[in-house]
Structure 1
Amino acid sequence: MSSQQPPEPGGPAAAAPPPATDASPLSADEIIDIVDEHDTVIGQSPRGAAYARGLRHRCAFILARDAADRIFVHRRTARKLVFPSLYDMFVGGVVGAGESYDRAALREAEEELGVSGLPQPEPLFRFLYEDGPRSWWSTVYQVRCEMPVSPQPEEVAWHTFLTEDELAARLPDWEWVPDGLAAYRRLLALRGGSGDPAVGGSSGASS
C-alpha cells in the first residue's frame, strides 16, 4: 500500500505526474485479437493501430480488494497509450492475441499490482464498451490481494486503497478513465439489482 494518504480532489497528488524520460506510449506494438460485435475473433492487429483505426478488441478489468475489503485505486502514468494520467478503480488491460480473458485477467492483475501468486480472479460480467470510435468487449473480474503490492512504475503513477464510501466520494471530482467508470457503474447496478450490466451497447460514460 502507498504510504501516502488519498489526495483530496484538486490536491497536490491529483496534479499531473512528471513526464516520463521516455515519452513513447507503452505497448503500442503488442499484437491483439480483433473481434466483431458478437466478440468473435476476426483478425489481429498491433494494439496502437487498433486504437488508431477504432478496431474492436478485448479487455479485462479486475477490481482488486485488500484484506480489509478496500479497493485498489491508482492513477495511470502519462505514458499510457489510452487515457493517460487518469484515475482508475480497476487494474487490467488488453487481452493478447490467442489469450483467454481469464488468463489475461490473472496476468494483468499480477503485473500491475506487482505481486505473484494471486488467486484466479473471479469473472463477474461481460459488456461491450462503446464511446465514439472506441469499442472493446470487456470482462469484469474481482480478486482478493492480501499481500503487499508493488505496482509497476511504468504503469502506475500513484496508488492507494479506498473503502467503497471513500471511492464514492471521489467519483464526482476525480477524472476517471471512462471505460473503468462505466464498468464500475455496471457493477454497482448488478449488486443493487437495478439493471443488467451484461447488456452490450453504449456505456453511457462521459469521455
Structure 2
Amino acid sequence: MVVAAVDHDLSGTLTDEERAAVAHAVPARRAEFRTGRVLVRRALTAIGTPVTSLPTSRNGAPRWPDGVVGTITHCLGVRACAVARRDEHAGIGIDATPARPLPSGVLRRIADVSDVRVAQGLAALRRSGVESPDSVLLAAAEAVAKARSSAHDGWFGIDGAHVELRQDGSFTARARRGTAFTATGRWAVDRGTARAGIVLAAR
C-alpha cells in the first residue's frame, strides 16, 4: 500500500514519543516527520494494521509494528510511504530525490563507476535524455538500502548493494556486503524528481 502527498500534511497529531524524536529538529524537519506519520497511519489503517504511534529507532528509522515492513521518503513535491505485511514481502523501499547532478564524490560512493555495466547504464540514460541519471542511481540505492533494513536485519548503507540502471525504467540490485540477494526495482524521473522503488521477496 502506497500513500503519497505533494505538500506537507500537518493534519495529524503526534504522540509524546513521536514529538520527542524531533523535539530539537528544525521546523522543516518537523513538518516532514509529521507528514510521514500522517501518511503512515493512513497506509497502515488501509492494510488493517492501524497504530497510534510509530516510534523511531536509534538510527532514525521508523520502528514498524510486528508483522509489517515499510518505508518513508521526503522530497520537495513528493512525500510518500509504502507498507506491506511481512508475510507477503521481506522488505520494501522507496526514495525520491531532486533530479540534479550529485555532489562530487557521492556517485563514486554509491556505485563502482569503473564497472562497465554501471557506466554503460548511466551513459545510455544520458543519451536518451534522462535528467541527471546519477540522481536516479542515488534514489535506487537509497530504496534498496531501506528495503534491506528490514529484510536483512540491519543497515548496510547506500553503498551496500550493486545497482545497475536500465533504459526500460527498471534496475537490478545485488549485495556488495551483507546477506546475498538479487532483486529488480523500478525508477522514473517526474517533474524534476528522481524516484525509485523496490520490493524484496518474503523469505
Q: What TM-score do the two structures reach when normalised by structure 1?
A: 0.28
The structure whose residues are more often helix, as a share, is 2
Q: TM-score normalised to the size of structure 2?
A: 0.29
